[in-house]
Amino acid sequence: MSVLAIPRLHFPSTLVLGATLLALIVTAAIVGIWVTPYDPTVFAVRFRLQAPSLLHPFGTDEFGRDVLSRILAGAHLSLATGFGAMAISLVVGVPLGLIAAFHRGAVQEVIMRAVDLLIALPPVLLGLLVLAVTPPGLFKTIAAVGLVYVPILVRLTRAVALGLLEEDFVQAARARGEGALPILWHEILPNAWPPIIVECGLRVTFAILLGSALSFLGLGPQPPASEWGLMIAEGRDFLTQAPWVCLAPGLSLCVLLVSVNLVGEGLRERLDPHLRGRAHA
């Protein structure tokens, strides 16, 4: 239900704007892995907690490390959490959803009860539970966040697939005597992906949010990594003296989240057949 008079372009303006911003962030993140103005981990205690200046555009932190360099060096961590978690939940959730749709009976029952259970855990708690008992690290955070979104994707995929299974073209394939796998692969999946992509696009924002919240709690990448949530947590002790140590990664995170959110909304406008009644193959 768009109120802004968006011209009927092929790509919605939200998608274009979001994708442009996101491309810039991704580029900065990739470059930032190797090249930063200063070394993001080397201490320079003489220059600790310096206010933003021409030399240090975002100031320095309590160990004299350049905040801008740390933000650049840590950008890929938030991106990896968001998109990695989404990839995990796609790879696990979509096949399970398809199986649950195709095999009614015991298999479906087991999958759907497990889903009910996982969905009944508040998201942060599921992450906390996984990270509580094992030493935290980037890949565990990604896995924990991914696990949170698996049940949602299972439910969605199953619902979409159940609808498609009733369609004539699937019945025709069955009548031709095709097996389960070819039907799922050639008939169901190609038609099921738009709503799945839309859901993922909207969920990436929450996955990044959740990942950074877990890092903020100390359950993500460990120091000296410069994950943005972790940077905010570390800078909290100096908030009054040196607000830039928190504000710079915080604002970066906001820009990233808004651009991902824009892409998600744009994908929805582009692919969701319920919106604007646009006929789409």
Partner 1 sequence: MPIAVFLLQRLAGLVGVLLGMSLLIFGIIHILPGNVAYAILGEFATPAAVAQLEVKLGLKDPLPLQYWHWLDAMLHGNFGQSIVMNRPAAALIGEALGRSALLAGFAFALVAMGGIALGLYAATHRGQASDKVLTLAQFVLIAVPEFFWAIVGVLFFASWLNLLPATGYAPMSEGIGSWAAHLVLPVMVLSFGLVAHVSRLTRSSMIEVLDSRYVLAARARGFAEQRVLWRHALPNALLPAITVLAIDAGLLIGGIVVVETVFAYPGLGRLLVFAIERHDLPLLQVGMMVVTAIYAVANFIAEVLYAVLNPRIRVGGAAA
SS3 content of the chain, % helix, strand, coil (to 5): 70, 0, 30
Minimum separation from the CB atom of position 4 to partner 1 (A): 7
- The residues with which 60 forms a beta bridge, in sequence order, are 66
Residues 84-113 that bind partner 1 (CB under 8 A): 113
Q: Which residue, 61 or 187, has its beta carbon nearer to partner 1?
A: 61
The one among 21, 87, 92, 124 contacting partner 1 by CB under 8 A: 124
Spell out the alpha helix ranges (H) of 103-188: 106-119, 123-133, 138-165, 168-175, 180-182
Contact characters 253-272, partner 1, x per CB under 8 A: xx--xx-xxx--x-------
Q: Binding-site residue total for partner 1 (CB under 8 A)? A: 46
Minimum separation from the CB atom of position 192 to partner 1 (A): 19
The one among 35, 42, 45, 122 contacting partner 1 by CB under 8 A: 122
Q: Are 12 and 260 in contact (CB under 8 A)?
A: no
C-alpha torsion 254→258→259→261, nearest 10:
140
Residues 200-229 that bind partner 1 (CB under 8 A): 205, 209-210, 212-213, 216-219, 229
The one among 54, 120, 175, 279 contacting partner 1 by CB under 8 A: 120
Tell me the three state secondary structure of residue 157: helix
Minimum separation from the CB atom of position 176 to partner 1 (A): 32
21 sits near partner 1 (criterion: CB under 8 A): no
221-227: long-range contacts (C-beta < 8 A, 24 or more apart)?
A: 221/77, 221/136, 221/137, 221/138, 221/141, 222/136, 222/137, 224/40, 224/41, 225/74, 225/77, 225/138, 226/40, 226/70, 226/71, 226/73, 226/74, 226/77, 227/74, 227/77, 227/78, 227/138
Element (H, E) at 22: helix 13-34
The two three-digit tokens of residue 155, written as one number: 């439910």
Q: Which residue, 39 or 116, has its beta carbon nearer to partner 1?
A: 116
39 sits near partner 1 (criterion: CB under 8 A): no
239 sits near partner 1 (criterion: CB under 8 A): yes
131 sits near partner 1 (criterion: CB under 8 A): yes
Q: Can you tell me the distance from the alpha carbon of 236 to that of 22, in angstroms, rounded to the nearest whole number?
A: 27
Q: Can you tell me the distance from the alpha carbon of 245 to that of 49, in angstroms, rounded to the nearest whole number?
A: 8
Minimum separation from the CB atom of position 21 to partner 1 (A): 12
Q: Which residue, 123 or 146, has its beta carbon nearer to partner 1?
A: 123
The one among 232, 263, 267, 271 contacting partner 1 by CB under 8 A: 232
The two three-digit tokens of residue 18, written as one number: 């979001």
The residues that touch partner 1, with contacts defined as CB under 8 A, are 1, 3-4, 113, 116-117, 120-125, 128-134, 205, 209-210, 212-213, 216-219, 229, 232-233, 236, 239-240, 243, 246-247, 250, 253-254, 257-258, 260-262, 265
